[in-house]
A and B are shown apart, each in its own frame.
Chain A
Amino acid sequence: MLATAVLGAPTPIPSPTIEYGQLAPMLLVFGAAIVGVLVEAFTPKYLRKSIQMPITVLSLIGAFALTVWEGFQGVRNAAAMGAVAVDGPSLFIWGAILLLAVVSVLLINDDDQFVAQAAAVPGSAEEDQAISQGGAHTEIYPLVLFAVGGMMLFPASNDLLIMFVALEVMSLPLYLLCGLARRRRLLSQEAAMKYFLLGAFSSAFFLYGTALLYGFAGTVDLGGIEKALGTVGGQDSLLYMGAGMLGVGLLFKIGAAPFQAWKPDVYQGAPTPITALMASGTLIAAFGALLRVFWVALGNLDAQWTPVLWAVAILTMVVGAILAITQTDIKRMLAYSSIAHTGFLLTAVVATGKEAQNAGALAGILFYLVAYGFATVGAFAVVTMIRDAGGEAGHLSRWAGLGKRSPVLAGIFALFLLAFAGIPLTSGFFGKYAVFAAAVAGGAVQLVIVGVVTSAMAAFFYVRVIVLMFFSDPAPEGPTIAVPSMGTAAVVTVSAAATVVLGVFPQPVLDLAHTAAQSLFVR
C-alpha cells in the first residue's frame, strides 16, 4: 500500500511479442540441440549415437522444410521486436546453411574422425584404452546443432547485440569441435586453442565497436544506426572507431586479409568434416552478417568504407592466391583458396557501396556462396578418403598419381578444383561471373582486373594438383583410398552433382537468389 503510494502504479513491462512461426527453423535447430544435450545426460552410452544422428539430421531437414515454406509465404519481417530480420536474404542463407549442414553432418557421422576421449592426454595409455573400447564423443552432434543455430542467427540479427550473441553461439561450439580430431591430436588442439584465442580477440573488437556505435547513435539497432547517420553530428570519431572495429570483427570471421592468419592453421588442424562445415557454413553466415552491417547500418557511410574495403579485397585476393602457391598440404592449400575466394566475394560487396540497393550484387554473392559451399564440402570430403598410416594424407606429394589408382575419385576432385578455378560448365564459373559482373556494374573495374589476375594465379595451383594427380607417377607406397561410408559417398556425389548442375543449369538457383535479393534487407 505504502509502496504503491510512494512509487505510483507500477508501469507494466510490456511482454515482447515473438513471432514463433517465423523463427521456427532456428528454434527447431536450437530445440534439437537441447534435446541432444538431454540425450547425452540420460541415455546409456551405446544408444547415444543411434539417437543423436537421426535427431540431428531430421531437425536440420525439418528446419530446411520450414525455411522453404516461409520462402513460399514470402515472409519479410523484423521479428521478435525488430531484433531478428526474417527476409529474403536471411531465408536464402538459412536454406543454404541448412543444406550444407546436412551434408557436413553426414561427413561428421563417419567413424574415426573424432577423438575417442577428448580428456585423455594424446599418446597416453588412457587414450589407447578409450580407443580399444570404441569410445566416441556423441556430444559433437548437439555442438554442431548449436553452431548451426548460431550460423542462422548471425546473418539474420537486426541489432548488434543479438549479432554478438549469435557470433558467440556460432563460434564457441566450433572452437571445441576443432580440437576433437582423432589423429594428430596435438595439431588439432593447437588449432582449437589458436582459433579460440584469436576469435576471442576479434570478438572483443566487435563488442567494443558495438559499444562505440551505441555511443554514437544511442541504439544498437541496425536501422536505428542508419537513421542516426543523418542526424547526429560532431561524433565522427566515435562513428569511425566503432564502425572500423565492428568491421575488424566481421572481416576476421570471413577470413579477409590482414585478419586471415587463423584460417590455414585452423583448417589444417581441425577434423576435416568440421573444416568442411566451417569453410561452407561459417563463411556464408559471416558474409550475411557483414552485408547486413555494411549495407543496412552503414549504408549511408559508403563513401568512407568503400576505399577501405577496396584495399582489404585486393589484399585478400593477393595474399590468398600468392600464399596458396607454395603450400604443400592439401588442407592448407584449400584454406588459402578460401581466403582468395573471400577476396573475390568482397569485390561485389565493395562495388555496391555506391548503390547499396543493388540487388544484383547481392544475388551474385548468394549464388557464389552456395556454389562455393558445395564444392568446398565435396573437396574436403574427398580429402577424408585419401589416407595414410597416420590419418589423412595431407601432403601434396602423397597425391601424386592418384588419377591412375583411383580415376573416379581423382576425377571428382579435379571437378571441384576446376569449379574453384571458375571454369565454365562448373558452378564456380557462374559464381565468379556474377560477382565480377556486379563489381563492374558498380564501377570497380580495377578491382575486377585484380580479381581476374589473381584468379589466373589461383588457377595455377588448382591445376597443379590436377597435373599431380593425373600426370605424375604414383608414389611407390602411396596412400590408401578408404572405401567411403554411405555418408561420405553421398556427400561426394551430392556435391559433385551440385557443382555440375549449378554449372550447366544455373538458372533456377540464380532466379531464387534474385528473388531472395529483390527485396533486399528488411530494416
Chain B
Amino acid sequence: MEPAEIVQHSGGVIGVSWLTIVLPLLGAAILLLGGRRSDRWGHFLGVAMSLASFVVAALVFFELLGLGADQRRRLVQLYEFLPAGTVDVKLGLLLDPLSISFALLITGVGSLIHIYSIGYMAHDPDRRRFFAYLNLFVAAMLLLVLSDNYLGLYIGWEGVGLASYLLIGFWQHKPSAAAAAKKAFVVNRVGDMGLALGIFVIFTTFGTLSFGPIFSHASQASQGTLTLIGLALLVGACGKSAQLPLQSWLLDAMEGPTPVSALIHAATMVTAGVYLVVRSGAIFEGAPTAQLVVTIVGVATLLAGAIIGTAKDDIKKALAGSTMSQIGYMMLAAGLGPVGYAFAIAHLIAHGFFKASMFLGAGSVMHAMNDEVDMRKYGGLASVMKITWITFGLGYLAIIGFPLLSGYWTKDGIIETAMEHNAILGWLAVAGAGITGFYMSRVFFMTFHGERRWDKDAHPHESPAVMTWPLIILSIGSVFGGAFLIAGNRFMEFLAPAVGRPEEMPSFQPFSLTGLVTLALVAVGVVYAWLKYGRSAVPAVAPRGSFLTVFARRDLYGDALNEALFMRPGQWLTRLAVFFDNRGVDGLVNGLAALIGGTSGRLRRVQTGFVRSYALSIFFGAALLVGAWFVVGNL
C-alpha cells in the first residue's frame, strides 16, 4: 500500500511544532552569545530547552495519534523563498509517524544525555559551551528529520556535521581530539558531496525539493535516474552513518567527551543515514540496484563493525564498533523495502536506548576510574558500581538479543526479513549476531567481572544521582522497548501511513529455525567470551594476537587504505593544483584584474571635471545615438 497523502495543517500543537527546533536553537544562541555571564545557569538552560523540545514533540505525537491513521501526515508550511516561476523553494515541516518517532528519540534520549552531562562535565570550565553545542546538535538533527524537503534536510545535515565537529573536538587542547574532529568533518564532507549531488539530480528531475511531489512522481522517473539518485543518497548516508567505506571517522570520534559519543551513537548523527534511506523509500523502491547496494553495504558494515569490536581494548572504541555493526543492521533492513523499514526504525529506537545506556555507563565507569578507557585496567567493577553494572548489563543483554529484551525483537525481525529476501544476506546477518554475542560479552566481562586490574590510584565509586537516573530510565527502555514496538506489529501499523504498508504483515515467530540458530550462535559467543575473559585472567598488556586480531585492531586497515588510496594521491593532486593555481590561474586572474584596474585608471582621466568636456561628450554621444538610429533604421 502506498503511504498516506500529505495534508496541509494549521493550528493546534502541530501548528507550532517548529518550536521543537527553535527552542534548542535558541538555547544554543543564548549560551554562545551570553558568554561567561551564563556560566552559572547555562547547563540548566540547555537541559530546559531540550526537555521543552521533548514536551512539544510529545504533544505533537499525541495530537497525531488523535487523528485517523491516514490523516497522520501533516505539512506545516513555514516559509516560501521564491515562489515565482519554475523555481520552487519552500521550507516546511512534515509531521508524520516517521519524523515524530525520530523527534521523540532525539529529544527524549537527548534530554537524558543533557541531564547526565550536568554531572559528567561538572568540573569542566567550559561546561556552558558544551551545553550550547549539545543544544545545537539537537536542533540541527531535529531540522534534519522534520523538514518536508531535501533542502531543509540538507541544512540540518550540515548543521549536524558542524555540531559533531565542535563536540568531537571539544577538548581541542588535545591534538588527538582536534585531529579526530577534523577527520570526522572531512570524511563527512565526502558523504555530504554525495547527498548534494543526489539533491541536484532530484531537483533537475522533479523540479522541486519537497518530499510530497517527489515521492508521488518517483515512479514516473526512469530507473536509471532513480538508481543514480539512490546511490548518491547512499553515499551521503554512508558518511553520516559511518557505513563502509566512510566508517573511519567513527572510531576516532571517541576523542569527544563521552556524552557526545552517546549522543552521536544513540540519538543523532549516525541515525541520519538510516532516516535518509527510509525517508527516500519511494526512490529506492524504484531502483532495485540501489536497494541491493544498500543491503550489501549494510551487511558488510555489520560484519566489519563486529569484527573491529572484538579486538578493541578501549571500552568506547569497542562500543563504537558495535554501533557501526548495529547501524549496519538498520541499513540492511532499510534496503529491504517497506517490510524492513519498520524493523530498521524499531531497531534504531531500541538501539537508541541500549546504546545510550551503555555509553553513559561507560562514561560512568570512566568517571570512576580517572578517565581510564583501557578495559585491561578494569575488572571486577560490578561490586563497587551496582547501578552502572545493572544498567549496563541490561543494555548488554538487549544488544546481544537476549530473549524478550529489546534487541531480541528488533534484530530478530531484521534477520528474519533478510532471510526471506536473500539467504546469503540472512546468514551473514546471523553470523554478525553471533560475533556480537562474543564481543559485547567481552566488554561486559572485562569491565565488570574477573579480577581487579586497577591502577594503584584508582578508587572507583558509584556516580552521582544526576548520572545514574538517566541510566536507569534508559535501561528500562532497553528492556521493554522492543517488545512494546514489535509485539502485535504495533510499530509497523503506526509507521505504515508514512512509509507504506508491506503487502504482508510479518508475524513474529519466536521459535523459527533462524531465530534458534541465532540464539545458539549468540550463546556460543557469550560462553567463549566468559571462558576467555570472565574466568581466566586478562593480561595487562594486549598479546600480539593472530593476524586476524591485528587486522581487527587496526580497524581492518581502513585508515591505511584511505591513506594509500586517497590521502597521498590527494596530496599530490593538491600540490599540482596549487602549482597550477599559482602559475596559471593566478596569472590570469591577476592579469585580468590589472587590466581592469588599468582601464579604470585610464578611463578615469576622461572625467576631467570640466563641464565643457562633459557637454562635448554628451554632444558626441547624441550624435552617435542618432546616427546609430539612422543606420539601424535604414538596414
Contact = CB atoms under 8 A, between A and B. Distances in A.
Most buried by A among B597, B604, B618: B618
Given A194-B611, A248-B625, A322 B596 contact: yes
Interface in B262-313: none
Interface of B: 80, 82-85, 596-597, 599-601, 603-604, 606-607, 609, 611, 613-615, 617-618, 620-622, 624-626, 628-630, 632-634
A197 B611 CA distance: 8
B596 A457 contact: yes
A243 interface: yes
A194 B613 CA distance: 11
Given A304-B633, A323-B603, A259 B618 contact: yes
A198 B611 contact: yes
A198 B632 contact: no
Contacts of A257: 621
A257 B617 CA distance: 10
Given A194-B614, A323-B604, A308 B629 contact: yes
Contacts of B624: 258
Interface in A305-350: 305, 307-308, 311-312, 319, 322-326
A270 to B, nearest CB: 15
A193 B610 CA distance: 11
Q: Which 4 A-B pairs have the closest CB atoms?
A: A244-B626, A258-B621, A261-B614, A326-B600
A237 B601 CA distance: 39
Nearest to A194: B611
A308 B603 contact: no
Contact of B597 (A259, A325, A506): A325
Contacts of A205: 622
Most buried by B among A198, A258, A506: A258
A303 B597 CA distance: 36
Interface in A33-89: none
A305 B629 contact: yes
A316 to B, nearest CB: 11
10 contacts: A197-B615, A198-B611, A241-B626, A244-B625, A244-B629, A248-B625, A303-B632, A324-B600, A437-B85, A510-B84
A198 B614 CA distance: 8
A307 B632 contact: yes
Contacts of B626: 240-241, 244-245, 248
B629 A240 contact: yes
A224 B99 CA distance: 65
A319 B617 CA distance: 14
B34 to A, nearest CB: 18
Interface in A250-305: 251-252, 257-259, 261-262, 264-265, 303-305
Nearest to B604: A326
A319 B615 contact: no
A12 B206 CA distance: 70
Contact of A312 (B83, B604, B615, B625): B625
Contacts of B633: 236, 239-240, 304
B600 A322 contact: yes
Contacts of A261: 606-607, 613-614, 617-618
Given A323-B607, A507-B83, A307 B620 contact: no
A437 B624 CA distance: 29
A247 interface: yes
Contacts of A312: 625
Given A240-B630, A308-B625, A202 B604 contact: no
Contacts of B617: 258-259, 261
A247 B625 contact: yes
Interface string A166-210: 000000000000000000000000000110011001100100000
